[in-house]
Structure 1
């Protein structure tokens, strides 16, 4: 069975029982609260809510998408800015001039004034400040979730007034957005047209200046270039041709002169003449005839003489023709030389004019470049001005209407079902609180605590109520039973319930150090483990813990026993408070004047050397290894009545040392003590380990959810030979601890126990 679920169930049943006992108080308080809720539902004025919606940051028609605009879409800062604009008094001043708004607000004000004059309501038509104060608190403007939609709502007792005011503010906001966008574009457009006008004037002046400069400098342009450049090019071409012709004439003249000196007429320039060719042909013919006739006729023959004269005439004509050709070549050479000289002079003049024109052209180019830049700027500004003018004419604003407010048909406040549900919830809460408070006050007034003397037997103490039982043990005896083979223990006089036929001897409270930390630290202290030395110090100062130890001493019968008793303290798991309980019980008995010996047998977790600040010692393990008496290994503590036998250490393997010994044999010879307290886990194989012990105390934490390990440990203790077995619940809450059954001793008696 799980402890946590059972504890919650019992606590719930106990609370229901207390409410049932005070059901009259519950009914009265719950009925009164519910009646107040119904009365409020009937008497509270009904209010209607009308809501209109707009969406913001939509791209405007004709506007180019930019990075700034894309960043603006859905920006929370932009949404908050729009919300502030809608709530601004500027827009509230504007809606007063909307049709029907002033009359609607006046009618709303007059309906709310059941008594008194209505002059203040009539003043809302003219007093803008009073109008804003009246409607500002009734408007609610908020964004719809994470969207770009803004809801504009107005609350009023009249549904038509709520609709009118919500739509008026919505329309005013939309118109304000359109007007603001149009005005900004109109200002920008006007500035652009003014700039365009100035640029146009500057362009005209620049063009006039360029043309005037061209005329002044004579920088007229030809087909492909300025006149000076084209003229220089033409003269250069003519000069090249003249120089080529002169060179050719010089070559011909030189050739003719050289041929004249040699005599032959085979020069190429001479042979090119048609006349020379004909004369040479005639000369050849006559020479052939003369040679033919000379073979037949004598030298004085008339035919020979005639042919000789004709031959001489042809040769004379040939010489004269050659001289004519030479004279013609000389004239051609002289003419070409004169042309070359003339063209060179013109070239020098053209070069000077072209150089001067180049500087002027550079100035002209600079002026033309500046003019072209202004023309481009003019074109861009003209395009932008045209776009702004178009946008201004078609602009509808970045805010668009989603829906206007409809006439509300159902009241917004109060709503019957949620109002009644809240009233019933409050009635139930106040009723339960009143019933529990009445039961608590009644219990304090009717049942005062009964004092108990130290000598009173435990049977005379009345068992605590169900809500005062420890958290770990309510009704566990009914659900968990011991095996049939276990020997039933003798009846005990404990006032606490039992587990597996084993009495719960005491409930040790959880210790907290509240004086050394802040309030927050004190709250968190219950969730932080404390070191055992600190726990023992706190236990010696904690009155509740000392009361629990007195209960334990009483249940163990240590005060009534005159002989030495052996008490074994064990636990199902580590961390259940076994070592703390053993040391605290030993210090408590020593503080009461009893001689106590504490024996450490926890091989896995030895801690006595640190807890008691003991010097290094071989302990009983070293004594068994060396064969020395165990009494020589006992160490005294700061308290004269408390001695310790630590476990010590050995050079050999420890292993399952507890399976090889029995406590009766180990503690033999350790006489002279009123109580011997052994801190040990249970071995797994030794069946007589607890033989000769008077008590086996099983420590169980109160916050353990399972009780089965505790039952197994109890049955194992009985099987190992324990005479009496009891349970000590550790780390319980103070409110669950049973009332003390013995008289408290002075706190000063425990000053040396920690």
Structure 2
């Protein structure tokens, strides 16, 4: 059984029927709205829209690609910032100086001013604030989808004005972007050139300081090294040569002295002398002549004597020459010794100077290193300054022009086809709303439902074959007297005019409670239902007349009467969310308001809610009473209503999952007397077969929008199997237009004719 589909179909047919009944109202309202749309189409001033486009965040020529720039491309935050820049009053102040802008705005203002003086329009040329107020609302700046293109549009009644203003703002924005980029680079370039000038001055001062330090410390450089180092090297070489010469002179002198005993003529140093060699050759020649002459001549011969004298002279000269050579060797040895001693002293002095120069050179190296760092920094800054200067000269800005605004030829507003389509749509909506509102207000004013009391039972209406609600019969119109009729016989105590399910009668159809009842009637029609909490539902139920009438009819169907014995009513449902707890609490409050003494017992272990619904204090409940062995009557809590008490479920330290399979309601409620009705909110256990024994009624709550009836049938059969005496169904959350009216009061046929 597809109850939800049937209900939806009946709802649609009923809505169409209500509109057809009020077709006159529908036609009047729809025609009026459509006429207003046509008049507005003719009367409204024509507006033209001119649009120019720019694209932002393109890479600038000459700029180095960086991570920051790559992140900027397509960034939504950057797009939004550019939109804010275009809309800023700063740019709007700049466009007033663009050629033709002021005259265009004045002409637009004068065209829109039908009456009055045009002085206010002329003031737009000089009053910047008035100019901005005039054009700001007519500009529209937005990005084109997810692209980086920005559309700059201007609306005006004059197409040439729209084109002029849109292009003026576009050109101003582009020039502002170029100027801003150039200014930033110019500032950076100026700072860099200033830094370069300071670095150049520092380098010059550092070089002068280094040169002065070198001159002061004598750290002039030679061909390959500092002068002190080269001097130390030269002295060392001279000392080596002097020591070698002294050693050679000492050897010659030692050789000459050692050969004096054998004859100085045999010494190698003597033999190396050319003079000694010549003298020896002369001595040899004279000795040979003397020997030759001695063999011929006598010893007294003058020739022999002459040769003897000459030989002696040569020998004397040879001795003198040898002594001269020995003296010369001695002088050479003494001179070399003196030179060696002098060079050694110079070596010590040069070493001291070289050591001091090393420390000075270290200081110089540190100064030179700092200077080199500054010189490298100078080179890098100079390169960067040159690049910035080049970029500034070739910069076009990060924003590019896509297209300027063209002269619009077609009006942007109003467009005939969309405007008429919107007018027809509004006419249809307002016509339908007016028809439904008129039908609803007419039904409320003409035919309100008439409640039936148990003391004066009304005539029953024959039940339909399906769960469709019969129309509510209107009361007599004012001034029409109904003929008196005989009082019909009372209906059976537990009979229902509603259809049955699985041989079980539907006792009542509780209407859906809406928070929209506090709104206007049109708002209640156009808006949907909203889910409500149970305390809110109970408050709305107490204020809802239809809901209270339905509860009154439910009490009548249940046959609840004052008696000495408490009548026990079990409220259950196939599933959670069917309105079981709401129905139990609403029925208890209704009976208590009628003066009955009512006790509500909570047995829903899985979803306890009574403590929150009725704002109860903390209590062990009947679970705690069973665990401690205390009487259940001590766990009963009073409520704000003096005739309504509550027995909450409470809490226990042990498991409570299968507690309902271990008890029966007859045993649980034993001894709780003194109440006219005991209403139990509980699900059905799965195993115990006598759970509902001793109960008068088992009410199965079923939501009206459930698509299947099988769960309700299973719950009804299960209730009977658990020992329920009588079982009935209450349909919850039904629409007011389709719910069945349990008891209605009829009027004679003549009354209908009199009511019109």
With 22-31 and 520-529 compared, the bigger mean Cα shift is at: 520-529
Alpha-carbon spacing, 1:314–1:642, altered in 2? closer, same or farther (3 Å):
closer
- Is contact 2:498–2:742 with CA below 8 Å preserved after alignment? no
RMSD: 10.6
With 473-482 and 524-533 compared, the bigger mean Cα shift is at: 473-482
For 1:55 and 1:696, the matched residues in 2 are separated by 74
For 2:470 and 2:605, the matched residues in 1 are separated by 31
1:351 and 2:351 are equivalent in the alignment:
yes
Deviation at 1:114, TM superposition (A): 3.8
What secondary structure, in the 3-state scheme, does the structure 1 residue paired with 2:678 have?
strand
Alpha-carbon spacing, 1:225–1:641, altered in 2? closer, same or farther (3 Å):
closer
Deviations 1:625-646 (A, max 9, x none): 9999999999999999999999
With 636-645 and 175-184 compared, the bigger mean Cα shift is at: 636-645
With 188-197 and 228-237 compared, the bigger mean Cα shift is at: 188-197
Alpha-carbon spacing, 1:344–1:590, altered in 2? closer, same or farther (3 Å):
closer
Alpha-carbon spacing, 1:614–1:356, altered in 2? closer, same or farther (3 Å):
closer
For 1:241 and 1:572, the matched residues in 2 are separated by 127
What secondary structure, in the 3-state scheme, does the structure 1 residue paired with 2:450 have?
coil
Deviations 1:91-133 (A, max 9, x none): 3343334333334333323332344554544554455454433
For 2:640 and 2:750, the matched residues in 1 are separated by 16
Deviations 1:296-315 (A, max 9, x none): 99999999999999999999
Deviation at 1:547, TM superposition (A): 6.0
Alpha-carbon spacing, 1:32–1:467, altered in 2? closer, same or farther (3 Å):
farther
Alpha-carbon spacing, 1:664–1:327, altered in 2? closer, same or farther (3 Å):
closer
Alpha-carbon spacing, 1:750–1:658, altered in 2? closer, same or farther (3 Å):
farther
With 700-709 and 286-295 compared, the bigger mean Cα shift is at: 286-295
For 1:614 and 1:453, the matched residues in 2 are separated by 33
With 200-209 and 648-657 compared, the bigger mean Cα shift is at: 648-657
Deviation at 1:695, TM superposition (A): 6.8
For 1:135 and 1:633, the matched residues in 2 are separated by 76
- Is contact 1:633–1:645 with CA below 8 Å preserved after alignment? yes
For 2:755 and 2:660, the matched residues in 1 are separated by 29
Alpha-carbon spacing, 1:317–1:517, altered in 2? closer, same or farther (3 Å):
farther
Partner of 2:691: 689
Partner of 1:218: 218
Deviation at 1:419, TM superposition (A): 1.9
**Structure 1 segments unaligned to the other structure (5+ residues):** none
**Structure 2 segments unaligned to the other structure (5+ residues):** none
Deviations 1:451-506 (A, max 9, x none): 64534345346989999959999999999999999999999742333334532123
What secondary structure, in the 3-state scheme, does the structure 2 residue paired with 1:736 have?
coil
With 218-227 and 524-533 compared, the bigger mean Cα shift is at: 524-533
Deviation at 1:609, TM superposition (A): 15
Alpha-carbon spacing, 1:393–1:712, altered in 2? closer, same or farther (3 Å):
closer
For 1:200 and 1:342, the matched residues in 2 are separated by 49
For 1:71 and 1:734, the matched residues in 2 are separated by 60
Deviation at 1:52, TM superposition (A): 1.1
Deviations 1:428-457 (A, max 9, x none): 221122112211222233224446453434
Alpha-carbon spacing, 1:300–1:737, altered in 2? closer, same or farther (3 Å):
farther
What secondary structure, in the 3-state scheme, does the structure 2 residue paired with 1:298 have?
coil
For 1:90 and 1:638, the matched residues in 2 are separated by 67
For 1:681 and 1:68, the matched residues in 2 are separated by 66
With 238-247 and 61-70 compared, the bigger mean Cα shift is at: 61-70
- Is contact 1:547–1:740 with CA below 8 Å preserved after alignment? no
Alpha-carbon spacing, 1:475–1:704, altered in 2? closer, same or farther (3 Å):
farther
Deviation at 1:401, TM superposition (A): 1.2
Alpha-carbon spacing, 1:437–1:518, altered in 2? closer, same or farther (3 Å):
closer
Deviations 1:632-662 (A, max 9, x none): 9999999999999999999999999999999
Alpha-carbon spacing, 1:279–1:752, altered in 2? closer, same or farther (3 Å):
farther
Partner of 2:194: 194
- Is contact 1:458–1:493 with CA below 8 Å preserved after alignment? no
For 2:644 and 2:755, the matched residues in 1 are separated by 9
- Is contact 1:52–1:166 with CA below 8 Å preserved after alignment? yes
Deviation at 1:16, TM superposition (A): 2.1
Alpha-carbon spacing, 1:335–1:69, altered in 2? closer, same or farther (3 Å):
same
- Is contact 1:53–1:404 with CA below 8 Å preserved after alignment? yes
- Is contact 2:192–2:381 with CA below 8 Å preserved after alignment? yes
For 1:646 and 1:746, the matched residues in 2 are separated by 50
Deviation at 1:44, TM superposition (A): 0.9
For 2:695 and 2:631, the matched residues in 1 are separated by 21
With 468-477 and 238-247 compared, the bigger mean Cα shift is at: 468-477
Alpha-carbon spacing, 1:602–1:200, altered in 2? closer, same or farther (3 Å):
closer
Alpha-carbon spacing, 1:726–1:174, altered in 2? closer, same or farther (3 Å):
closer
With 83-92 and 650-659 compared, the bigger mean Cα shift is at: 650-659
For 2:121 and 2:674, the matched residues in 1 are separated by 102
Deviation at 1:572, TM superposition (A): 4.6
- Is contact 1:587–1:753 with CA below 8 Å preserved after alignment? no
Alpha-carbon spacing, 1:309–1:407, altered in 2? closer, same or farther (3 Å):
same
TM-score (norm 1): 0.66
Alpha-carbon spacing, 1:174–1:542, altered in 2? closer, same or farther (3 Å):
closer
- Is contact 1:464–1:738 with CA below 8 Å preserved after alignment? no
Partner of 2:133: 133
Trace 1:55-204 onto structure 2 (pairs within 5 A). Answer: 55-66=55-66, 68-70=68-70, 72-76=72-76, 78-186=78-186, 189=189
- Is contact 1:200–1:378 with CA below 8 Å preserved after alignment? yes
With 724-733 and 521-530 compared, the bigger mean Cα shift is at: 521-530
Deviation at 1:33, TM superposition (A): 0.7
Deviation at 1:413, TM superposition (A): 1.3
Alpha-carbon spacing, 1:750–1:527, altered in 2? closer, same or farther (3 Å):
farther
Alpha-carbon spacing, 1:560–1:652, altered in 2? closer, same or farther (3 Å):
closer
Deviation at 1:47, TM superposition (A): 0.9
